Amino acid sequence: MKSSSLVLAAALTLAACGNANSSKAQEGVFAEPNSRQVPGSAMEMKSSFAPVVREAAPAVVNISARTVQTVRDPYFQFFGGGMPQQRVAESAGSGVIVRSDGIVVTNNHVIENAQAIRVVLNDRREFAARVILADERSDIAVLQLEDVTGALPVLAIDDQEEQEVGDLVLAIGNPFGVGQTVTNGIISALNRTETGISDSGSFIQTDAAINPGNSGGPLVDMDGDVIGINTAIFSRSGSSAGVGFAVPASMVRRVVDSALGGASSVVRPWLGVKGDSVTADIARSLGLDRPQGLIVTELYAGGPGARAGIQDGDVITAVAGQEVNDQGGLNFRIGTHSPNDTVAISLLRDGRPVTVNARVQPLPGDTKVVPETIRRGSFAGAEAAVLTPALADRLGGDPFAQGVIIVSAPRGTYASGNGFQRGDVVLRVDGRPARDLAAVTQAARGSEVVIQRQGRIMTGRVS
């Protein structure tokens, strides 16, 4: 678990079926969500969660991931010597079987950089596992258990997003390594985006107790279906404070479908739209009865949004019927779709509701950095690459940004001597946009250079 104010904690979960006897599950395919009904009275609710747990618990697993780290003895390192030593480290988390032939979902941070992964079922059977796909951005990883014989118990994923604040939920996992544990609570909020966990996440918030070791375990509704992945907790102590966050099942389904489709990464489409949340002041200026939606401030030329007819000043209120109120929410909703899907975008234009259909597509450009060494000028010696929307997004930047990114600036080069660093994005040189490497090579003594460094815009002259 990561120890900060936001501690990654629980996990992804998809599904196939809550009934081990289903013929679909035996064939290794996803099953339909359970038809079990929510308790119909307070008496039924108080009675027991046991029927739901009985269905769900067999498909929840414990995961142990072993990594080998190279370290030096700090005493000898202080004196500049000492032989490096290898240290074995293990991380423990949870997961959920989503297909009867051994497809398991867990958190990426549970298995990251692991040399060996061991999965233990609720009935104490053990399997080795390999990673099919690991998506750092959503913190979701998909595993395949090795040497599976027979159909394994599975859970169904319910990605219909019909949940409401106040619905009862269960979190199942292996907190603190004590063994499988079930905690209950309610959904305390939906569509949480400003959490600091991800720039494209929209989370289910729950007060079900989630602690270190729950990572990878499912958030289950009263139908016995997986509705999300407990992926983080807000805590100052590192333990549950009653505020946990789960990745909605729609995103989990997207990652699993990518893995089972043979992809090595999740290709996220985009709309090519940038905007600001509608505040109370903006709502009054637009004549809206309340603050809602995202006001469009920028459109990518030729992007899906522009081609669909979205205009500057439009207020986006929903994507495929799901409410949107900020940029993170828009990114998430678009990201749950597959590239080339046609998606209904609900707008307010001049106070009137409008719906347009946008064909969402992958961000343009290459996601790989292909650096070139700059041979002359104030950036000489640096390795740099021209930003594309796809590359900027992969690096965690703004896809709308145009510039040249410094991939490396080794010591002793002109670039390093002039104060440029790895990760700097050169935006302008002498007032001209840096759209290619040729623009950067023009920088000389006295040139005014504008760069972006760790989110800050900095202007200076080359000395």
Predicted structure pTM score: 0.77
Does the annotation mark 109 as catalytic? yes
Helix axes 249-260, 327-335, angle to 10 degrees: 40
Contact between 357 and 413 under an 8 Å Cβ cutoff? The reply is no
Catalytic residue among 91, 109, 337, 416: 109
With 60 as the cut, is the pLDDT of residue 102 above it?
Answer: yes
Q: How far apart are the first and last CA of the chain?
A: 45
Structure tokens that stand for 428 in this block: 């302008």
> What architecture does CATH give domain 372-461?
Roll (2.30)
> What architecture does CATH give domain 1-264?
Beta Barrel (2.40)
pLDDT confidence tier of residue 169, bands split at 50, 70 and 90: very high
Domains 269-362 and 372-461 share a fold: yes
Q: Which residues contact 334 (CB under 8 A, 6 or more apart)?
A: 268, 269, 270, 271, 319, 343, 360
Contact between 266 and 198 under an 8 Å Cβ cutoff? The reply is no
Does the annotation mark 207 as catalytic? no
Catalytic residue among 91, 94, 198, 215: 215
Residue 115 DSSP class: S
Q: Which residues contact 44 (CB under 8 A, 6 or more apart)?
A: none
Least confident segment among 112-116, 138-142, 254-258, 392-396:
392-396
Catalytic residue among 139, 158, 159, 326: 139
Task: Decide which of 2.30.42.10, 3.10.20.30, 3.20.20.80, 2.40.400.10 is the CATH code for 269-362.
Answer: 2.30.42.10
Does the annotation mark 139 as catalytic? yes
CA distances from 14 to 19, 217, 290 (A): 14, 10, 36
The residues spanned by each domain of the chain are 1-264, 269-362, 372-461
CA dist., res. 195 & res. 215, Å (int):
17
State pLDDT tens for residues 27-58: 455 656 655 565 666 666 557 888 899 999 99
State pLDDT tens for residues 249-260: 999 999 999 999
- Tell how far CA 331 is from the center of its chain: 11
Contact between 268 and 335 under an 8 Å Cβ cutoff? The reply is yes
